Amino acid sequence: KRKVVLITGCSSGIGLSLAVGLASDPEKNYKVYATLKTLNKKQRLLKSVTEFHRDTLDILQMDVTDRASIMSARDRVQEGRVDILVCNAGVGLMGPLEVQDSKVMKDVMEVNLFGTLQTLQAFLPDMKSRREGHILVTGSTGGLHGLPFNEVYCASKFAIEGLCESLAVLLQHFNIRVSIIECGPVNTDFMLNLQKTEIGDCALDALDSHTLSLYERFLLHCGTVFQNAAQDTEDIVKVYLDAIRSPEPAFRYFTSGTVPPLVKLKTTQPDGLEYIRAMGELIFPQDHEELQQ
């Protein structure tokens, strides 16, 4: 029997690659519902779709912040069930906390946290009654350790960890697996789509100069990290495929293959100070020496 997969956030990036990757399975083992916040953003996805996908991929509108839109997407699934649900939609937010607008902060929580919660609420009852299913969530290393100037984003991704871990404990009684795919930096539209406080933005006028200079350095650091270490979506899709095909999927997957050293520090040094020092040293190397004195 073909597995029915529904993926959120497929207009670009990880969601798009995963949708096309699964729909391109040579055995046609998957029927994929690639969902998008708005259908006018489907051009990029359509470019990857060929005749082969005629019976393996459907495109649906689904805004994860809109309950009615989630329900209507669910009701359009022809098979009447979803075997594999991928909660992938997400947005970023970067900048000094003091200057963030509360509407913008709430929007990030709306998409990343409440969007995921609402999506799960819509699909859980059927999975539970069938006692079958696999829920996969695109997580972030920013959900496992804090990052300066990413307080709201990290808070939303930390919340996802708690949500998934809590659910997983219950759902083992329903033969439903939960997996989080923990990504580091990935080459997608994420950096373009994120809400970022730009240097020169008048919102920064009231900010103290020390924070501003640290923010400038953080942005440079970020650029270098993305240039040197970002993975391609194909690498992420491989990890997703491993998790989806596994008879005993793990709860947590790291797309780099191993637990990143900074994540490890959180468990080996539970008082948390080692992590804070190490991250500070990584992003603001010279200051670190001064702080030690």
Binding site for ligand NAD (CB under 6 A): 8-15, 37, 63-65, 88-91, 111, 115, 138, 140, 183, 185-186, 188-190, 193
Q: Cα 138 to chain center, whole Å?
A: 4
User: Cβ–Cβ contacts within 10 Å for residue 7, how many?
Assistant: 28
Distance CA 46, CA 56 (A): 13
Distance CA 31, CA 23 (A): 6
Distance CA 143, CA 110 (A): 16
256 vs 269, beta carbon nearer ligand NAD: 256
Tell me the sheet residues that pair with 195: 93
The distance of closest approach from Cβ of residue 25 to ligand NAD in the complex, given in angstroms and rounded to an integer, is 20
Q: Is 28 left (phi over 0), alpha (psi -120 to 50) or beta?
A: left
187 vs 211, beta carbon nearer ligand NAD: 187
Catalytic annotation, pick one of 153, 215, 240, 253: 153
92 vs 96, beta carbon nearer ligand NAD: 92
31 vs 37, beta carbon nearer ligand NAD: 37
Please indicate whether residue 153 is annotated as part of the active site: yes
6 vs 10, beta carbon nearer ligand NAD: 10
CA-CA distances (angstroms) from residue 66 to 37, 39, 116, 182? 9, 15, 11, 26
Distance CA 168, CA 162 (A): 10
The distance of closest approach from Cβ of residue 182 to ligand NAD in the complex, given in angstroms and rounded to an integer, is 8
The distance of closest approach from Cβ of residue 12 to ligand NAD in the complex, given in angstroms and rounded to an integer, is 4
Pairing state between β 176-183 and 195-196: unpaired
The distance of closest approach from Cβ of residue 200 to ligand NAD in the complex, given in angstroms and rounded to an integer, is 24
The H or E element containing residue 280 is: helix 273-283
List, by residue number, the catalytic residues.
Answer: 153
